[in-house]
Amino acid sequence: MTMAISMTKTERIQAALAGKQPDTIPYTMWTHFPDDDLDPVANAEKTYDFFKQYDIDILKTMNNGMYSVEDFGCEVDFSEISRGGVARIVRTPVQDAADWKNIKPANILEGALGRELRYLSLLLEKMKDEAAPVLFTVFSPLTTANKLSGSRMLEHIQEGHGDEVRRALDVITQTTCQLVEKAIELGASGIYLATQMSSYDIMSEAMYREYGMPFDLEVLNASSGWCNVVHAHGTNPMFNLLKDYPSHVFNWHAYETLPDVEEAALLTGKCLMGGIYRMDITKGDRNAVRNQIFRTVKTLRGRSLILSPSCVIRHPLDDDMLGFIRKVKQDIEEVLVSHTY
């Protein structure tokens, strides 16, 4: 057996994107820091500590999940966070269909958007000697629009106000593209585009082709990064559409919903990020997690893979469980992959 040459984390990810055999299968995971993610200094510190503690190969920013809507007029109540609760949108700028015309471009250097760019800048400074990629998380324009309307958006479209919604989506997309361009300018290796509406459980494929896909593509095309990820959030994703998006990596809720790993690999032709059902991590189901890692690595033979959970890992974090993932990856890789070098 010929031993693989040791790689940096960046080289490892680049090998995975190119379909080549890395020295070891790259892996990653991410969570939120709800007590700190409104403070860019504290969030950068916590994110960097997470990167070092778990020795992950690619770092996704762990932004406050409401950041994309605040500057467009949403009022968010964060008061329950310190007591273990979640952030709640308490006022939205779109109540009636006529309100869509009031959505105006946001200044990416101010408010919540400016806060998240400062967080990215501070994090990149901490990561400057790590030789590891950093991705900046952005939300699809349709995801942001839906939150801005308190989930009334689909109702407005069905009532015949699609033109008003599309005009607002143009505005949201313009701001999102500016945010993406700035993130890459600061030094991010790419973006992690989260599409939370691209599910057959939420809307029809025809509707997403009209109100989701064109704006997603604008955002992706705004990134000149070398490692752009599409995240198909939730169950029953519109894989038929998302598989052809111009991204380098496809991430979805593997083992929670279709497609299976082999189907996703063959039909996207991309590097996959995934392979572990996140709730099995939360439940501490070690046999399930081991089996998922085994099946994923065996199917892909260790290539075109960034092993990860399907989505954010929930708190409280179980350090023993997260350490178990890395150990099992190494054990399975030794058995399944080392013989192919």
**CA pair distance 189, 224, nearest whole angstrom:** 9
**CA pair distance 60, 31, nearest whole angstrom:** 9
pLDDT in tens, the chain (341 residues): 344 689 999 999 999 999 999 999 999 999 999 889 999 999 999 999 999 999 999 999 999 999 999 999 999 999 887 776 778 999 999 999 999 999 999 999 999 999 999 999 999 999 999 999 999 999 999 999 999 999 999 999 999 999 999 999 999 999 999 999 999 999 999 999 999 999 999 999 999 999 999 999 999 999 999 999 999 999 999 999 999 999 999 999 999 999 999 999 999 999 999 999 999 999 999 999 999 999 999 999 999 999 999 999 998 899 999 999 999 999 999 999 765 54
The residue assigned the tokens 């700028």 is 93
Q: What pTM did the predictor assign?
A: 0.96
Sheet architecture: strand order including 229-232: 59-60, 134-139, 190-195, 229-232, 249-252, 271-276, 305-309
The residues near 177 (Cβ < 8 Å, ≥ 6 apart) are 218, 219, 222
**CA pair distance 5, 19, nearest whole angstrom:** 16
φ, ψ for residue 237 (rounded to 5)? -70, 160
What are 140-149's pLDDT values in tens digits?
999 999 999 9
What are 18-32's pLDDT values in tens digits?
999 999 999 999 999
Could you list the beta-strand ranges (E) of the chain. Answer: 59-60, 75-77, 88-91, 134-139, 190-195, 229-232, 249-252, 271-276, 305-309
The residues near 165 (Cβ < 8 Å, ≥ 6 apart) are 100, 145, 153, 156, 157, 211
> Nearest Cα to 28, choosing from 331, 322, 334?
322
Scored b (16 or more CB within 10 A) or e, 243-264 reads: bebebbbbbbbbbebebebeeb
